[in-house]
Amino acid sequence: MPKTLLIVDDSALVRKSVVKVVQPSKVFGRVLQAKNGMEALEILLKEDIDLLISDINMPRMDGYKLLTTLRNLEKYKDLPVILLSSQNEPHQKIKGLQGGANDYVTKPFEPGELVARIKNLLMMKELQDELARKNKAMEQANKKLEELSVTDELTGIWNRRYLWERLEEEISKARRFNQTVSCLMIDIDNFKVINDTYGHITGDTVLIEIARILKTQCRNHDLLARFGGEEFVMVLQQTNLENAAQLAHRLVKATERHPFSTENHRPLKVTISIGVAAYPAQDITDVNGLIKKADEALYQAKRKGKNRVIFKTDPTE
């Protein structure tokens, strides 16, 4: 894509001399001009500029002020800038370079040197842009890998690793702010029979649909994860045992009503059992205790006939 140069100088003669120097190099497809910093800003806000050559001493807005304003604009924070001035004092150069200029050329300038400096800055900018693109692509790839590492591949919900990390955080927060965290341990009834009778494709479909049913009942700030095999865990923030049990009953009913089918489109009855426990309780003081008690409640639900909810009450109540 053709590049655009903006020349800013209150002297028409200087602007003309810069144009005369850069045109034969064919580095720029367009060359725009401004008489001062204010005119330059108007152009910069309307156009896409690839390189700026600016005088320092100009009316209305000088080169230093233009440079400071430019570096505060996200669009132009990395724009290559050459300050072009008749001032050759070291402190002037230092001020310009510390203010964000990439280069400083004194007038009268040597044409070949100015073109060489322009090409060098543009090449450096292209390398910086390419590096930024690669870094962004790498960041996105790393983010995707991190998401994959904590996501269950089949169902798309969180996996066991993420569950443990988040559950530790939730218990810590609940302990700090004297809040309640409830845990639902969910298991698909007779899942091995489903797999053995109808095949793993049907089994996988059941897992995916169960995850979908559970997710629709989940609040945005709650946590749903596949614990392993046919087991799922739902962690409910600031939810007491009674409310958690009510949600568990709704999940059991929603699953029972759902029209599951086999790979051959034959109707399939699927139910779930749920064990519920809440932190804090006399025998639930940490993550392991919460999971253990929810699992014990689930085991009781299985023993009592499945397709039901059992919740673990606090022994002090």
Backbone angles phi, psi at 106, to 5 degrees: -95, 150
Q: Is the CB of residue 240 less than 8 Å from the CB of residue 277?
A: no
H or E element, residue 140 = helix 111-149
H or E element, residue 79 = none
pLDDT-wise least confident of 89-93, 99-103, 163-167, 186-190:
89-93
Domain boundaries defined on the chain:
3-140, 160-311
Q: Is the CB of residue 183 less than 8 Å from the CB of residue 224?
A: no
**CA dist., res. 109 & res. 106, Å (int):** 6
> For residue 188, is pLDDT > 80?
yes
Give per-residue pLDDT as tens, 268-285.
999 999 999 999 998 899
Tokens of 253: 């009913």
pLDDT of residue 291: 95
Give per-residue pLDDT as tens, 215-228.
999 988 999 999 99
Q: Is the CB of residue 293 less than 8 Å from the CB of residue 312?
A: yes
List own/partner pairs for 116-119 with CB under 8 A and 24 or more apart.
Answer: 117/82, 118/5, 118/22, 118/25, 118/27, 118/51, 118/53, 118/82, 119/25, 119/27
pLDDT of residue 316: 46
CATH topology (fold) of 160-311: Alpha-Beta Plaits (3.30.70)
Q: Confidence class of residue 315 from pLDDT cuts 50, 70 and 90? A: low
- The whole-number average pLDDT for the span 167-175 is 93
Query: How many CA atoms lie less than 13 Å away from 249 in the CB half-sphere?
Result: 8
- The catalytic site residues sit at 230
**CA dist., res. 173 & res. 166, Å (int):** 10
pLDDT of residue 49: 94
CATH tag, 3-140 = 3.40.50.2300
> For residue 317, is pLDDT > 50?
no
Which residues touch 6 (CB under 8 Å, ≥6 apart)? 31, 32, 33, 34, 40, 43, 44, 47, 49, 51, 52, 53
Task: List, in sequence order, the alpha helices (H) in the chain.
Answer: 12-22, 37-46, 63-71, 90-98, 111-149, 160-177, 191-198, 200-216, 241-257, 287-303
> For residue 92, is pLDDT > 90?
no
Tokens of 40: 């330059």
- The whole-number average pLDDT for the span 26-42 is 93
Q: 182: how many CB neighbours lie within 10 A of its CB?
A: 26
**CA dist., res. 184 & res. 298, Å (int):** 9
> For residue 68, is pLDDT > 60?
yes
Going by their DSSP bridges, the two strands 272-279 and 181-188 should be labelled as antiparallel
> For residue 307, is pLDDT > 50?
yes
**Residues facing 268 on adjacent strands:** 260
Q: Are domains 3-140 and 160-311 of this chain identical in fold?
A: no
| Angle CA 35–37–41, to nearest 5 | 110
Which residues touch 241 (CB under 8 Å, ≥6 apart)? 180, 182, 276, 277, 278, 311, 312, 313, 314
